[in-house]
Every structure is written in structure tokens, then in C-alpha cells.
Chain A
Amino acid sequence: MGRRDSPVSPAPVFCKLRKVRGMQECRMSGRMEDIMIRIEDLSVAFGDTEAVKHVNLELIDGEVLGVVGESGSGKSVTALTLMGLVADSAQVTSGRVLFDDVVLREAGKPCDKALYRQYQGARMSMVFQEPMTSLNPTQRVGKQVEEMLRLHTELRGEDRKQKVLEAFRSVGLREVEKVYSCYPHQLSGGMRQRVMIAMAVILHPRLIVADEPTTALDVTIQNQIIELLREINQKQNNAMLFITHDLNLARRLCNRIAVMKDGEVVELGETEEIFQNPREAYTKRLIEAVPSRVKRRRNAAAESGMGEPAGSGPDGKIPAGGEAAEKAGTEQEECAVQGWNTGREQGAGLERSAGQEKSAGLQECAVQGYRKPILRVRNLSVYYKDGDNSLFSRRKKQCVVFGAEFELYPGESLGLVGESGCGKTSLSKAILGMNREVEGEIVHTTLRPQMIFQDPYSSLNPTKTIGWQLMEPLRARAALDQAFAMTREEMETAAYDMLHKVGMEDKYFHRKPSQLSGGQRQRVSIGQALITHPGMIVADEPVSALDVTIQAQIMELMQKLQQEMHLSYLFISHDINVVYRMCDRIMVMKDGRIIESGETEEIFNHPREAYTKMLLGA
């Protein structure tokens, strides 16, 4: 069974393999005493709602069990109950939790906190998702880790410190002395998570529960943390309960996987077994929802032509949907950005093109003939003002994007990939005119490009109905330009049409965002962005806050709408697989510079830069 085919580190795979076999034998010979953690028929309820229903799980020493499921599937509640950290309002309604045949928690009995204290920290520990909130911001991290030793060991003073430094070294932190005396905010997310892990493993607990330990991190860091967890698991031979919504991550780390849905374990088995032969329909859906590179290739054949120039019409036919683009096209005039300014102020916006000769640019387009970019960025630098703007102090200017140059063509998806802080969001804001501290040239032919944000919970106005929000762009446009004036009925019809287009029913028209799920909200956001038919959409991580199956649906919707309305997407993401699935071309950004760009297949098959390779490996 070739269970770990990740190309990252072939060496550990072998020893791991042997270990897995060994464990399997144990299990087969039925030596029950080897089972460390036993969760038997566990049900947990919050009031009337059951969060966990009759869950059975077992863990043996050295094993990594992945618990996979979407948000609300009960995976975290299971783990928290096991750890004795679940809220007091949660009641165990059936079953029990055993650690080495000691009953930790039983149905009907309240949590025995004194008993748990003997186990927490020393024998089982936890790594949380959000490293910022799980460390105390007012204490130096070294002291916080030392707290574990102070509570559970006899070590004193200097010995304790040495032990902490040793633990820091073992989790791959450098300059440990310096880290020791840092406050959490002085460390990066990855370093904080390493500190958290050091805290969790310093006492060599037999069980580590990791609740989405990498979700808040960048891909490359994510990779390192996974490697680290695997390394610790091998060195210390502790069992690990790895909770995640990301099947790919689970595949790389876990021996066995339990798939949870609505509080139940629907499937449990060896990792590869689950991936190769998923029994449950739900598991299949989860696996299929994971955007994989293989899938794209299959689709690519069917979808070919989408990225081809032929799509935008050499016959000069202007694609349906882009009223604004049509207008600009016929006038042979490109409006400089100022996207959010009134259309009438366009003239003022031209000063930003900093002396560039526009006509020359136009001629270039003419030479290219059939492919006229909807967006052209030339030598663009974006600045960011630092600190408070007050009466007596000027803000410092910081350059976050250096000399970006690219084009976006009609009907195309251009991916922008990079880690957080690399400047991809700053670049997109500059393009949309939300940041005016720019140098260089941004020219686009669409009047008011729109944006889709990452967080579906903050991108809709909570006090307004869905219908109102869908009509607002039309009202705003009418207020700016009499030519677009519409009656109320026309607006309502357009809003209902858009609601259908994004796959939602009429009844949602009068609802407020709080009554919608994350995926539905994102659909409304997309509808709101598209209702004025902008030619170009900037999508800033539009699916990364969503569950995998919802992710797949939203991506499908975006692709469908792209074809129907002939849209151009500037698609920003840190998730290389999502970008692979969505985009025709990719730009890789690092430290404010676009270091590599090209056709998706080209970049994936022959990455030039070392950084790109690292991203792809992640």
C-alpha cells in the first residue's frame, strides 16, 4: 500500500510505512491494551441540538488519526470533549471516553475537572487553530511555555529555561534565546504556531490533539508545520488526533481517517483505502470537491476555447453582458481607473497615468488586433501609508508593490498567487482605485470593476435584505448617470434574474444575510458584483473561507457565469489548487514583485523560480 505518495520527503515514507504495518498487526491480533484512547458511543448535546451522535473512535500509540469534516460536523466538539475542554453547556448524553482504560468522561456525569487536570498537558495536549488568540499577548512566550513545566515537573529556574529552549529548537525555531523573550505579537503566524506546538509537546504527551493547526497559515508555512507534526510524531511516538477540513492535508499526515458529517462518523478507514475506494457518497463528494490538478486536465479539454482568443471574437463582435465595455469600445477610448469615482470625473483620473502616451498604448493593442486587454498595468508601484494620520505627524510611505506589469484579456481568468503580505491584495486595491498611493499606469476599459471578498460574513450589509443589496448597484449607477435610470420594477426584475443566475430561489429576496449560509452569502456577493455587468471582477480569495464542497460549487458558479457573461477574473488566492482549477494564466508574487507569470499548465509543469516550485510543492 503506497500510502504516502507526496513527493516532498521520500525518506520518512519508508520508516512510516513499516510502522503503520506494525500497528495494523497489533490491531489485528486484537491486543486491546494497546488502545490508548477509546471513544465509545459518544454523544454530546448543546440543549436540544446534538452536536455529536454516537461516535466510536480508537487511537493507539504512534498513530495519526485524521478527523475530517465540514464546519458543524462535530469534529471539534468531539476533540474538545476528549480533552475535557468542551463548554459546560455541553452535555454528554451517551457513551464514554477512556484513556488507558481510565474513564475520563461518562454520560450523565459532569466533567471531572480534577481528574482531567492530571491528564491535560502531561499526557494529552492540544494545538489550536488560531495561534494569535491561544497565546497570552501580555506574557513572553518563553514564560508561557515554561508554565507547563512549572505545573507538571519538578524542574527549577535555569533547568526549566534550558528545557524550553531545547523544545524551541526541536520545533525548528531559530535564535531560541530571542524567541524566548518575545511577546506573541513579535512573532509571525508560523513561529507562533511552532511555539504552540513546542508547548504541546514539551512534556512528551502521549496524545496530541491538533485542531486545524494550519488553517490560519500560509501554504508554505502550512507545509512546514505538517512536516514538523509528522517529525514529532515519529520522534516521540505519540498518538495524534488531527482535525481538519482539508482532505489533502489529512492524506499527507494521517494513518487513518474518520469522515464526520452532522455529528456522525460516516466512514472510517486507512487513509489510502478511503481515497481509493470511498464507500459513502458523502466521502466521494468530499474527495471530488478537493480541487486537484488531475481534474483540471480532464475538464480542460471540455472547456478549451475559454482562454483562447477566438472567444473574444476576431469578427469584432462585442460579447453580451458588457454594456460598459461596449460603450468604451465604440468610443475607442480607454478610461483610466478611478473605478469608484463618478464616471464624469474620468478626465481627472488621467493624471495618474504619469505622462505615459496613451495613444502609443492603443496602437500596440491595434497591432495585437484581436486581443485588446480589458486591463493593462504598466510599471505599477503601490504605496501604503503607515501609522496614524494625525494633525502633527505625517504618515510614512511604504512601497508594497514594485513595478507590476501585466494585462488581463476579456473572458480570461488571471490568477495571482502568493503568501499573505506579498502585496497581492494591495495590488488589487490599487487596480480598483481603493488605494490612490500609486505610481505607474493602470488602464482598464470597464467602467466600474467589482470585487468579491473572502469573508462572506462581512461582505454583505447585515441590516439590509438580499433584494435591496442586489438592487443597490443599479440605484448607485442610476444616481451617477441618468442613462442608466431604471424604474423600481425593472430593478426588481433584474435582481430576481440575478438571484436565479447565482442559483438561489425567489424566497431569499426578502431575507437578511444572517439567515443565509456562508455559501449562499458568497453567491449573493457574486450576484451583487455582477448585476451591473462589469467586464472585470477582482476576486480576493473568494472561496478560502468556505467548506470544500461549497468551495467547489462556488468555483463552478464562477466559471459558469464567466462563460455566460464573458467576464474577466483577476483571481487572488494562496491556494494553488484553487488557482489551478480556475485560471488560464497565473502570476506568482513574492515580496511585492511579480516573479513569474505564464499559462497555468506551463507554470505547473515547468516552474522557473525556486519560490514557485516551493509553492507548487506545498
Chain B
Amino acid sequence: MKKHGMGKWNKYLVAGLLMTGLALLLGIVGIFWTPYSTTAMSAAEKFDAPSLRHIFGTDNFGRDIFSRVMEGMGTTVVISSLVVLFSGSVGILLGALTGYFGGVLDEIVMRVTDAVNGFPSILLTLVIISVLGSGRQNVILSLGIVFVPSYIRIVRSEFIRLRDADYIRRARLMGVGRMRILFVHILPNIFSVFWVSVMIGFNNAILAESGMSYLGIGVQPPDASLGKMLSDAQGYLRTAPWYALAPGLSIVWVVLGFALFSEGIRRRNA
């Protein structure tokens, strides 16, 4: 194959991998261990500027911001992954069934997704949260529901495209079972398209989760979250700008890294 050398690795991919890798590493480590306790307050160290002791400085309670960013990153990454996992699998299942079989089920599912799409996503999550109450699971569930329609649409259109492909017709002629056709014959062929939407979805989930926490409908204290930190820092923007900069830049870092990574993947496959 010709795709070795430059084709396989491009700058987007390398930069994206490094940036996301670092963020993921911090986040995952942050779940289990942080340099300082994320809840330990210290009146003496209130609003310390970034230094070697506290590389991102400390906040209004004297907590180490770097530790809190690590933990918040962990929360964000875990929630976003679960959101993508949930909406992706529901999307694959419903998209595959509706796209391949069409008919009444298709019609109903599509109208429901239209309805879901009709609401502004933030409003919809608000409604769901206010009904179910806040908390990790409910954040995941509400974001998952908001994200599902786009996956259904993507998967469905791919299945519609491929259900009449010659090799699928031949599989039917061979007597291959329907579920096997759906998930063994067709599904691997849509992965290249599906991956792109997963990447984009992951980024959107990070932003949405941060947004929800910022508005106070995301994860609740004492869980650290990047969005929550941003909204806490708002009041001290002049006195302690690092308090807001640290979580803000972290969000930018993850999202940018992931965008570069998915662009790299896209270019490699192109």
C-alpha cells in the first residue's frame, strides 16, 4: 500500500494526538490522584498567583487550581465519553433499523427526532434536568437524548445508501440473516463516516457539559467541573484572572486538540 510515510501521519494528527493525549492523561490521572486534595481549603493560600508550588495558582478558598482542573477534566471526559457512547449506540441501533427497513418505524422515529431537533438543545436539557433532577447520570442522559437524533440521521442515511448496494443484495441472495446483514455486512462500511461524527459529537459533548455546569445544572459540588469553575471564577476575573483562565484554556485545549485529531484522521483517510 502506498499510504505509508507522510500519508499515515500528518501534522494535524500528531498535534491533535499530543494535545488530546495530554488532556486525557491529566483527566484520567485526576480521577484517582491529584497533587493536592481538591477540597482542602487553606485561608493562607487564598488567590496565590501561579507558582512552582501551585502551577495554576489557587482559588478563593485556597484550593489548588491545577488539581481541580485535573479532576474537572476527568469529570468532563468521562461524562462526554458516556454521552457519546450512549447516543452513538442508540443512534446506530435506531439508524440501522430505520434506514434498512424503512416503513412505519422509520416514519415514527424520524418525526420524533424532528421534534427533538426542534427544541434548542440547552432548553431541552434544562427541561429534562428539571424533571429528573441534577446529577451525573441525569446530565449524561439528558445530553444523550439531545445528541441521539444527529447520530440516527447519519447512520440512517448511510444504511439507506448501502442497503441497495450490490454486495448487500448478493448477501440477501445467499440467505444471510437480516441482523447479520445489518451489523456484520453493512455496519463496518459506515465506520469511516460514523467516526467523524463521533469525534464532532465528543467535542460538542465537552462544550455542552461545560455549558451546563456553568449554568449550574451540571454536576453538583463537591464534584469539580470545568464549567462550574468558570462560573465561580467570574467574580474574581480582575483580582485572580488565572482562576478563570485555567479551566477556560483547558476546555479550549481539549476541544482544539480533538478537532485537530479528527481533522488528521479525516485527512489520513482521504
Residues of A within 8 A of B (CB): 339-343, 389-391, 432, 434, 448-451, 453, 455, 458-464, 472-473, 475-477, 479-480, 515, 525, 528-529, 532
Contact = CB atoms under 8 A, between A and B. Distances in A.
Interface in B36-76: none
B176 interface: yes
A525 B170 CA distance: 9
B73 to A, nearest CB: 35
Contact of B107 (A390, A448, A528): A390
Contact of B173 (A342, A450, A458): A450
Given A389-B102, A391-B104, A461-B185, A472 B174 contact: yes
B173 A432 contact: yes
Contact of A448 (B103, B104, B174, B177): B174
A391 B103 CA distance: 8
B175 interface: yes
Nearest to A477: B175
A206 B173 CA distance: 53
Contacts, number: 73
Given A389-B102, A391-B107, A463-B189, A476 B176 contact: yes
Given A432-B173, A464-B185, A476-B176, 5 more contacts: A339-B173, A448-B175, A476-B177, A479-B177, A479-B180
B155 to A, nearest CB: 16
Interface in B152-201: 165-167, 169-177, 180, 185, 188-189, 191
B174 A532 contact: yes
Contact of A340 (B103, B104, B107, B175): B175
Interface in B183-222: 185, 188-189, 191
B169 A451 contact: yes
B107 to A, nearest CB: 5
Nearest to A391: B107
A330 to B, nearest CB: 22
B176 A472 contact: yes
A310 B74 CA distance: 78
Most buried by B among A340, A480, A528: A340
The 6 A-B pairs of least Cβ separation, nearest first, read A463-B188, A459-B166, A453-B166, A473-B174, A476-B176, A391-B107
Contact of A477 (B165, B169, B174, B189): B174
Nearest to A460: B167
A451 B173 contact: yes
Interface of B: 1, 102-104, 107, 165-167, 169-177, 180, 185, 188-189, 191
Contacts of A389: 102-103
B171 A472 contact: yes
Contacts of B102: 389
B173 A453 contact: no
B166 A455 contact: yes
A198 B98 CA distance: 46
Contacts of A458: 165-167
A451 B103 CA distance: 27
Given A389-B102, A389-B103, A391-B104, A459 B167 contact: yes
A461 B167 contact: yes
A227 B191 CA distance: 49
B167 A448 contact: no
B169 A434 contact: yes
A472 B177 CA distance: 11
A342 B167 contact: no
B43 to A, nearest CB: 61
Contacts of B176: 472, 475-476, 479
Contacts of B103: 389
Nearest to A388: B102
A434 B174 contact: no
A476 B107 contact: no
Contact of A434 (B104, B107, B173, B191): B173
Nearest to B192: A463
B98 to A, nearest CB: 13
A528 B176 CA distance: 13
A342 B104 contact: no
Contacts of A342: 175
A432 B189 CA distance: 25
5 contacts: A434-B169, A451-B169, A453-B169, A476-B177, A528-B170
B189 to A, nearest CB: 5
Given A390-B107, A453-B166, A455-B166, A462 B189 contact: yes
Contacts of A477: 174-175
A515 B1 CA distance: 9
A476 B170 contact: no
A448 B166 contact: no
A479 B178 CA distance: 12
A450 B174 contact: yes
Contacts of A459: 166-167, 170
Most buried by A among B1, B103, B165: B165
Contact of A476 (B104, B167, B174): B174
Contacts of B165: 458
A340 B167 contact: no
A411 B18 CA distance: 63
A56 B172 CA distance: 51
Contacts of A450: 170, 173-174
